[in-house]
Amino acid sequence: MTVERALRLIAGTFVLISLILAVFHSHYWLLFTAFVGLNLLQSAFTNWCPMMWVLKKSGVRPCLTQDELPLVERQKSTSP
C-alpha cells in the first residue's frame, strides 16, 4: 500500500466513524469531520499533510512519480 492510498483509507475511515458518532453520540463529532475535510482541502493546495508525514515515518512506501516510472520499467527489463 502506498502513502496516498493509506491516506485516503484513513481519511475515509475517520469521516465515516465521526459521522456514526455524530448520529449516535454527540453532534460535536461533526467538528472532527470538518477538521478532516479542511485538512484534505489544504493538502490539495500545499501538498503537505501531517498524516502523510506519519505514514512515511512508519515505513509506508511512497507512490512513484511519472519521472520514476521509466527507471522502474528499465530495472524490471534488465533484471534476470
Please tell me the pTM assigned to this model. Answer: 0.73
Q: Would you call 13 exposed, middle or buried from its count of C-beta atoms within 10 A (0-12, 13-18, 19+)?
A: exposed
Q: At what angle do helices 29-46 and 3-24 cross, to 10 degrees?
A: 160
Position 70 scores a pLDDT of 63
Q: How confident is the model at residue 71 (pLDDT cuts 50, 70, 90)?
A: low
Question: Which residue did the predictor score with more confidence, 78 or 47?
Answer: 47
Q: Is the pLDDT of residue 74 over 60?
A: no
Specify the pLDDT at position 1.
85
Phi, psi dihedrals of residue 48, rounded to the nearest 5°: -135, 130
**Res. 31: pLDDT tops 90:** yes
